[in-house]
Structure 1
Amino acid sequence: MIRLPSNHAAVTAPLVASSTRFPGIPIGRSLLDGRPFHLSPVLVDDSVLPSTNSLALGGLGSGKSTTAKTCIHREILHRDHQAVVVDSFGEGADGEWAALARSLGGRVIKAGDFTLNPLSPLFPPQVREQLVRSLILAVEPGALTPQATHALQHALNHPKSASLNGLVDALACPEDGRWPAATLADWGVGAAIALSRYTEGSLRGLFDGEGASLPPTDLPILSFDFSGLDRNSPAIPSLMAAVSCWAEQVWLPQSTAVHRHLVIEEAWQILLSPATGELIQRLLKNSRRAGLSLKAIMHTLSDLGTGKAQDLAKLCEIAHVGRLGPEEAALTGALLGLPQWAIDMIPTLGPGQAVWRVGPDYVDIIQTTLTDDEAALTDTSSRRRTAQQAQAPAVEQAPADDAEPDITTGAEAEADIEETSPVPAEPDTGTGSDDEDQVDGGGEWAWDMPPNVVDIRHHDALQAAREGRCAEAADLAALGERADIAAHGINSTEAVAWISTRALVAELCGNPDQAVRLRATVARMGNHHPETTVNYEPQQQAKLSPDQDPEGPEDPTAASLRRLWPAAAAIVGLSLAIAFVWATPGGEEKQRQERQQHQQSQERQERQEREEKAARYQGKVPVALVIDGIHVNLVGRWDAAKKRTVLSLRARWDQHAQFLRMDVGDETVSSVRSKDTEPMRSPELVLPVDDPRADITVRVAVGGKHYKQNSRSPSREIRLSPATGTAFDARTGKKFPEVTVF
């Protein structure tokens, strides 16, 4: 076994667990362990994911919009979900969501082609007032003084106020009410001037309709296309205010879909507007009750300022972050609570690669996969590609830097989708064997070989592990690693490649925890180069036409020699081997005896290690914890037959303990205090055991004095080791002090 220095082997940040799975649509594959990544937030248990809102960040060309479109496309196709999109960016005459919306049988509503009447009788009275107030705030934030608000409410009750033109007339020439008409007219001047921008000014034609029609609510997807408007125009927040009111008061109550999505492109502009910021905040906070998932897409969180960015990050349990600069990555990572290793990876991500955070604990690096059809529907780089082809018509250029890229496309991506679809209808977060994700029925590898592999030693080690010869595979990997460390150094790419191979060997031999630790070591190595990371993105290189030759004509003699030298090398090697055997009588028999002696010695050593482990076996692990101000005791006991373990969580007579819960895989048990005068019931969990020496990871959640029912309680993950009777913090690896059994 090769022991790495502590700065390589120690990993203290939260890591993606190889057994962690989420139910839902396929999105891509993990770049840490190669596993398929699925997620439909609404299918995840609310104890794991209380909110289904998400945040997509990334620079130009990072793939954030491509990923968002792909997720919505699959949710609608596979789950019968419904979506409304606010699209404020595009190429040509259409927004970038137009092609996707039309392909799904939806509708694209362009600003100016559809005139909305904010005073339509189809809106309830309170919605009409709220919508008009939002339109005023969008163009004149200071116009709604208390006096102007009263004048507006008085005018809304006038019979003329069936359209925006009638409302402006009612404000300019009011009738007597509680206050004289002259006073009401003075108070309403500011509001009337603001609304006149929509009836006579530059925003005319958007909200001054006389009819009562509203956008349909029964389409699979509806895209409001604002891409034809000036980015700085007040029309965008005004239209967004109208869309928000329509979505909240009309679409959500009338929609019959099992779940709805509201997607906001360039969300920073909408969230910063006084007219729409509060509306979006309210939708975010009420999304769970309304059966809505809101997805905000923007370049960076710094566009919002610290306060609003923090509020948005708190309301979004899901975030995927594409490539950003180092400073922006550090700011985003701090606001989202990302571990340092993930923050360090953000500036190095390629197109379509993103750091995903799901809930408070799960962090992974995911490569989005696309089919050919999805690649065509999500393409937003046609203009730049046309310009490149005009300059170099003979060469097919790679994707543009600022394009929303097609990361993994074609037959390979379609195979990934077909392999994982149809997605299960019920949530399934269970764990189990994942060999089917690694090796298919035909014996083909489902992942790329480790990077920088130019010899057969890696293949031999993996083949031995695949055939069940795990000890031999581990020895081959250790010998290869030792040789490359001696030849190239411990920080070399060759040594890193062996760590990746050892991770695959551990995976095949049923040790996923070790595999995760090894892959994390690769990711955390201080001088880690991008080329040492397993990359699932197919290389897209310029293709030369048949009549192009980058190096000119080749010398026939040199070509002939190059074809002959492998055969010559093989003949020389065979001759040397024959000469060695001829000169060493009995050499083959001697080698056979040495191999047999080595095998017997190894078997004796393994038997001795098993006996020593059996002698040290404790079968019980106690640990004392303090969570949410409550002192609790977690105890794991393995029975004499070593066939099951009993986990118990006790808070004794702590009068402030209100809630106790344990989670192990799919198994959950909890206890809630019924009366303050009664002791807290201690939950117990009985689990079958296959390997009595295997560690068990337990998630412990405790609600203290301020616990509220159905709220998330503070928790910790504890790893219990029955072989040594010790407990560790599953995130940091820190060992807990030994205590007596309670």
Structure 2
Amino acid sequence: MDPDRSRRKLYSTVLVETGRGSRRGRRQRQKAAEAVLANDQAATRAEQKARYDAQRAEARAITYLPRGGEPGPAALRSYRPFRVPTHQDTSATLQGAYPFLAEGGLGSSGVFVGQDLYSGGSFVYDPWHLYQRGLITAPNLVLAGIVGAGKSSLAKSLYTRSIAFGRRVYVPGDPKGEHSAIAEAVGGKAIILGHGLRTRLNPLDQGYRPAGLSEAEWTSTIASRRRDLIGALAETVLERPLSPLEHTAIDLALRATVAQASVPILPMIVERILAPDSADNLDGRLAEDGRLVGHALRRLVAGDLAGLFDGPSTVTFDPTLPMISLDLSRVVENSTLISVLMTCSSAWMEAALLDPAGGQRWVVYDEAWRLMSHPSLLRRMDAQWRLSRHYGIANLLIFHKLTDLDTVGDSGSAMRALAGSLLANAETRIIYRQESDQLGVTAQTLGLTGTEQRLLPTLGTGQGLWRIKDRSFVIQHQLHPSELAAFDTTGRMTGEARKFTDPGASLGPFDKGTAA
């Protein structure tokens, strides 16, 4: 029977009974009935609470699952989140699950280059800033691309836009003369060397003196630099290393010349090598020992390079200028002569280039395929690349394809190893469009993925694959119209040559332009 119904019946009976008799008696009986009902309700509630507490304690005492979940196949019954093992795949596969996945970029500090074609954002690059952030450990760059892909315009944009950040630019040798107009436009200087010109450059000048060197240190530095330069020139012309006897002939001739002239010139050195002093030629064989070296160097003062390095310098090297370029476009006879000029010009710039207090500088090596075939010049480049961090230098090596490295020396030779080290010491590799037959070598040398390898032949003009350490970007280079007019190298082929007549406009704000 329902307890509530029983209580209501009892209460009704009490009320009936209380309704009989006097008023006082009825009141007492009514209170008694209410007390009985209240006690009954309290007892019922206590009984229900005790029953609920017992059921709750019983439920808590039962263990349904282990606290850490059941092991093995029964783990699916765990109340904890299901643990799925990590999975790696390409973005092409994962784009269905993550359709908006894109590289985060390198940040906003640096020189504007163009647009990231994957993320759609702006792409900026600065080797010194990336080095400070620890993203790269070598500030050198390698830029490769077929003719007409736009690599020359990219190189010019990188260094001209960096000038606004206080960087300087050195071009030790410009075989095509492409950088001369740029140097003049940014307030620098282009030194043009060639037959029939009045410009003379004495590579044996003392050059720029770095701060902090004592007189003895400076004298020793000059002597060592001159000795290395003369040896490098002789090796370049002879196309072989020098023998110990030839080194001795050069050293004695240089010492005798400096004793008579504080600033020697190459004709004096050649004369001393071919006709040494009697005090140095005790056994009468010194002239014979240096005969081949003397005639090799004579080519620079009386042969097909006469008039370039056979007299005192008519120009001075000012390291404070924003940009200095040595234009070698007037000397196009053969690659050996270009290499000789590059050796002389790089030695001429070397004193200022290797000054730790000289600030941050770009050093641009254009048409690198001409340079790497000569051991002496290759060794100079390798030394500068290895010491780039110490001197605040970012070297930029420009060539057409990576297979150019295979033409340097024999397989397994020291020259091949030096050429490979230039690539190894550059953590920024920029690859523009490559021909299909070059894809395998390029991918193997740079460690490209299959997707990156298939991308190279499809790149348009001004589009490049940027490999910065272990990160990849596909960038569309963008030019301001004034830059396009200054950097254009296709005018002779298209018949639409444009002249750059406003140097000030080249440093204006960057606008939407067409990549070239």
Return the TM-score normalized by structure 2: 0.69
For 1:218 and 1:44, how far apart are their aligned partners in 2? Answer: 25
Q: CA deviation at 1:378?
A: 0.5
Contact 2:113–2:477 (8 Å) recurs in 1: yes
Task: Name the residue aligned to 1:145.
Answer: 243
Task: Name the residue aligned to 1:66.
Answer: 153
Task: Name the residue aligned to 2:188.
Answer: 106
Task: Name the residue aligned to 1:422.
Answer: none
For 2:431 and 2:276, how far apart are their aligned partners in 1? Answer: 53
Contact 2:203–2:309 (8 Å) recurs in 1: yes
For 2:185 and 2:163, how far apart are their aligned partners in 1? Answer: 11
Return the letter of the residue paired with 1:55: V
Contact 2:175–2:338 (8 Å) recurs in 1: no
For 1:231 and 1:37, how far apart are their aligned partners in 2? Answer: 41
Q: CA deviation at 1:38?
A: 0.6
Task: Name the residue aligned to 1:195.
Answer: 297
For 1:157 and 1:187, how far apart are their aligned partners in 2? Answer: 17
- Which of the residues 307, 316, 320 maps onto 2:430? 320
Q: Classify the secondary structure of the residue corresponding to 2:495.
A: helix
Contact 2:145–2:400 (8 Å) recurs in 1: yes
Contact 2:106–2:125 (8 Å) recurs in 1: no
For 1:331 and 1:311, how far apart are their aligned partners in 2? Answer: 17
Q: Classify the secondary structure of the residue corresponding to 2:256.
A: coil
Task: Name the residue aligned to 2:474.
Answer: 365
For 2:384 and 2:360, how far apart are their aligned partners in 1? Answer: 14
The answer to whether the aligner puts 1:225 opposite 2:323 as a matched pair is no
Q: CA deviation at 1:10?
A: 4.9
Cα 1:16–1:117, aligned 2, differ >3 Å: closer, same or farther?
farther
For 2:226 and 2:154, how far apart are their aligned partners in 1? Answer: 36
Q: Deviations over 1:564-594 (max 9, x none)?
A: xxxxxxxxxxxxxxxxxxxxxxxxxxxxxxx
The answer to whether the aligner puts 1:117 opposite 2:202 as a matched pair is yes
- Which of the residues 80, 93, 96 maps onto 1:9? 93
Cα 1:356–1:216, aligned 2, differ >3 Å: closer, same or farther?
same
**Equivalent runs, 1:330-341 vs 2, <5 Å:** 330-341=440-451
Q: CA deviation at 1:75?
A: 0.3
Cα 1:6–1:54, aligned 2, differ >3 Å: closer, same or farther?
closer
Question: Relative to total residues, which structure has the larger helix share, 1 or 2?
Answer: 2
Contact 2:479–2:511 (8 Å) recurs in 1: no
Task: Name the residue aligned to 1:245.
Answer: 347
- Which of the residues 461, 467, 482 maps onto 1:351? 461
For 1:139 and 1:222, how far apart are their aligned partners in 2? Answer: 26
Task: Name the residue aligned to 1:523.
Answer: none
Cα 1:167–1:255, aligned 2, differ >3 Å: closer, same or farther?
same
Q: CA deviation at 1:245?
A: 2.0
For 2:365 and 2:90, how far apart are their aligned partners in 1? Answer: 45
Contact 1:82–1:220 (8 Å) recurs in 2: yes
- Which of the residues 26, 29, 48 maps onto 2:135? 48
Contact 1:318–1:357 (8 Å) recurs in 2: yes
- Which of the residues 267, 270, 275 maps onto 1:165? 267
For 1:355 and 1:264, how far apart are their aligned partners in 2? Answer: 20
Q: Classify the secondary structure of the residue corresponding to 1:313.
A: helix
For 2:347 and 2:240, how far apart are their aligned partners in 1? Answer: 21
Q: CA deviation at 1:337?
A: 2.1
Q: CA deviation at 1:338?
A: 2.2
Q: CA deviation at 1:342?
A: 1.2
For 2:329 and 2:313, how far apart are their aligned partners in 1? Answer: 25
Q: Classify the secondary structure of the residue corresponding to 2:181.
A: helix
Cα 1:148–1:414, aligned 2, differ >3 Å: closer, same or farther?
closer
Q: CA deviation at 1:231?
A: 5.8
Task: Name the residue aligned to 2:385.
Answer: 284
Task: Name the residue aligned to 1:635.
Answer: none
- Which of the residues 381, 384, 387 maps onto 2:493? 384
Q: CA deviation at 1:229?
A: 1.7
**Equivalent runs, 1:545-624 vs 2, <5 Å:** none
Higher RCO (CA-CA < 8 Å; seq separation 6+): 2
Q: CA deviation at 1:19?
A: 5.4
Q: Deviations over 1:382-408 (max 9, x none)?
A: 111217x9xxxxxxxxx9xxxxxxxxx
Task: Name the residue aligned to 1:451.
Answer: none
Give structure 2 stretches of 5+ with no counterpart.
1-88, 96-100, 208-220, 499-505
For 1:227 and 1:212, how far apart are their aligned partners in 2? Answer: 19
Q: CA deviation at 1:86?
A: 4.0
For 1:7 and 1:212, how far apart are their aligned partners in 2? Answer: 59
Q: CA deviation at 1:327?
A: 2.5
Q: Classify the secondary structure of the residue corresponding to 2:285.
A: helix
Q: Deviations over 1:587-614 (max 9, x none)?
A: xxxxxxxxxxxxxxxxxxxxxxxxxxxx
The answer to whether the aligner puts 1:27 opposite 2:129 as a matched pair is no
Task: Name the residue aligned to 2:218.
Answer: none
- Which of the residues 125, 141, 144 maps onto 1:39? 125
